[in-house]
Amino acid sequence: MAAAAASGEASSVPGSPVCLLVLGMAGSGKTALVQRLTAHLHGKGCPPYVINLDPAVRELPFPANIDIRDTVKYKEVMKQYGLGPNGGIVTSLNLFATRFDQVMKFIEKRQAASQYVLIDTPGQIEVFTWSASGTIITEALASSFPSVVVYVMDTSRSTNPVTFMSNMLYACSILYKTKLPFIVAMNKTDIIDHSFAVEWMQDFEAFQDALNQEATYVSNLTRSMSLVLDEFYNSLKVVGVSAVQGTGLDEFFEHVSKAVDEYEREYRPEYERLRKKLGRVRSQQQQEQLERLQHDMSPAAGESHPPRSGSSVESLLGPSALILTRGALGEEEQEGDQDSDTDDINHQVTEESHEGPAFQNFLQEARRRYPARSSQ
């Protein structure tokens, strides 16, 4: 990764795209929400730049400008490193993170045409939030563009106060881990309205009444935790949305606008201050972190699962062998040959045909299923 991307040498400027990092538990509806946001923004004549970071997803319901699956062979990673599904996802993200400077270049080239960058993350939330690659990707984006974390919560599964508190504790931990503006998107309001959750956050006694129906040790712990999170609730941006019906999106983008103001007011000055004070040290530390990551990914590092007999020559060359077009091309070739950019949609064609047949079919299907909501 380029030192500038890793250390935050670049700073956001007026007109920079807003990066929305969509996180959430498995089944919360992250991908469905990204699909709905994509259709909503296209309907507004503001096409977003979409990035998929889930190497194990079978099919994407939206057109992605950059798809990690076009760059890293997930099943090949599992096979050559002797890993299971979760280990394969972590390793694939690590491999992708070592080349994330190239992703930053593509975002920069498109910042005049795309107001938003939507980033869909793996279903295993801990894979992204607590991994070195997740930190590298998040900090690279946040140091160059206004970045907002969108925590997607399954409202229908949070009617139990203990489950609700578990979600809030996880959200709180991610907030302090990423140190970025934070929005909780309470999804699936088409199944159940999120007003009960908002009441629990605003009225301590209402939450205690709900907990009184539980007489377990966990409920006692949850009661104590609710006091701890009181200040967290006060500054938290919460919005109810439905990825299926498309409701709540206007309010969602109002919160995004406030989060961007918060980023510019509080987070960007802090990044700049740290860059001036600790820039060289921070750059060196992050470069060492990247080098350790690359070393850990190399079969020559002496891992417990050496390449299997009969492995291809590429398996002996280290992580870059598993990187396809982007990783194999030199910078000069990437800059000069747009046809070789297989991960990125041809944006000139995109502007003329609205993402081509794939997106036209997707948009027509969305309008057919949700005619009243598609233009909201």
Q: Is the predicted pLDDT of residue 261 greater than 90, yes or no?
A: yes
- Torsion sign over Cα 352, 356, 359, 360: positive
Q: Is the predicted pLDDT of residue 248 greater than 90, yes or no?
A: yes
Output 255 or 203, whichever has higher pLDDT: 255
Q: How many domains does the chain have?
A: 1
Name the least confident of 126-135, 146-155, 213-222, 354-363: 354-363
Helix crossing, 161-178 with 217-228: angle to 10°?
A: 40
Q: What is the pLDDT of residue 288?
A: 65
Is 96 contained in some domain? Answer: yes
CA distances 34 to 25, 46, 118, 183, 268, Å, are 14, 14, 7, 14, 26
Q: What is the pLDDT of residue 7?
A: 35
151, 121 contact by CB (below 8 A): no
Q: Is the predicted pLDDT of residue 97 greater than 60, yes or no?
A: yes
- Return d(Cα 182, Cα 175) in angstroms, integer: 6
Is 246 contained in some domain? Answer: yes
Residue-wise pLDDT tens digits, 156-187: 999 988 899 889 989 999 998 888 999 999 99
| Nearest CA-CA partner of 64 in 104, 35, 28 | 35
CA distances 179 to 5, 116, 182, 220, 253, Å, are 18, 20, 9, 29, 20
Is 39 contained in some domain? Answer: yes
Percent of the chain surpassing pLDDT 90? 38
Confidence bin at 342 (pLDDT 50/70/90): very low
Is 138 contained in some domain? Answer: yes
- CATH classification of the domain holding 24: 3.40.50.300
Q: What is the pLDDT of residue 232?
A: 84
Work out the average pLDDT over 256-283.
77
Is 374 contained in some domain? Answer: no
- Return d(Cα 153, Cα 187) in angstroms, integer: 6
- The label of the residue with tokens 């809030």 reads 168
Q: What is the pLDDT of residue 221?
A: 76
Q: Is the predicted pLDDT of residue 362 greater than 70, yes or no?
A: no
With b for 16 or more beta-carbon neighbours within 10 A and e for fewer, the 11-37 pattern comes to: ebeeebbbbbbbbbbeebbbbbbbbbb
Work out the average pLDDT over 57-61.
90
Looking at mean pLDDT, say which of 202-206, 271-275, 278-282, 354-358 comes out highest. Answer: 202-206
Looking at mean pLDDT, say which of 6-10, 227-231, 242-246, 276-280 comes out highest. Answer: 242-246
User: Which 3-state string (H, E, C) describes the chain?
Assistant: CCHHHHHCCCCCCCCCCEEEEEEECCCCCHHHHHHHHHHHHHHCCCCCEEEECCCCCCCCCCCCCEEHHHCECHHHHHHHHCCCHHHHHHHHHHHHHCCHHHHHHHHHHCCCCCCEEEEECCCCHHHHHCCHHHHHHHHHHHCCCCEEEEEEEEHHHCCCHHHHHHHHHHHHHHHHHHCCCEEEEEECCCCCCCHHHHHHHHCHHHHHHHHCCCCCHHHHHHHHHHHHCHHHHHCCEEEECCCCCCCCHHHHHHHHHHHHHHHHHHHHHHHHHHHHHHHHHHHHHHHHHHHHHHHHHCHHHCCCCCCCCCCCHHHHCCHHHHECHHHHCCHHHHHHCHHHCCCCCCHHHHHHHCCHHHHHHHHHHHHHHCCCCCCC
Residue-wise pLDDT tens digits, 285-341: 666 666 666 665 554 343 444 434 333 323 323 333 444 433 333 333 334 333 333
| Strand 147-154 versus strand 182-187 pairing type | parallel
149, 180 contact by CB (below 8 A): yes
Q: Is the predicted pLDDT of residue 75 greater than 50, yes or no?
A: yes
Q: Which residues pair with 117 in a beta bridge?
A: 19, 49
Residue 136 domain boundaries: 3-369
| Nearest CA-CA partner of 146 in 249, 239, 38, 265 | 265
- The label of the residue with tokens 């096409």 reads 47
Q: What is the pLDDT of residue 346?
A: 37
Is 336 contained in some domain? Answer: yes
- Return d(Cα 54, Cα 72) in angstroms, integer: 10
Is 376 contained in some domain? Answer: no
Q: Which residues pair with 20 in a beta bridge?
A: 118, 148
> What's the mean pLDDT when you consider all of the chain?
76
Q: Is the predicted pLDDT of residue 197 greater than 60, yes or no?
A: yes
Q: Is the predicted pLDDT of residue 112 greater than 50, yes or no?
A: yes
Q: What is this structure's pTM?
A: 0.74
Name the least confident of 4-13, 85-94, 145-154: 4-13
- Return d(Cα 211, Cα 206) in angstroms, integer: 9
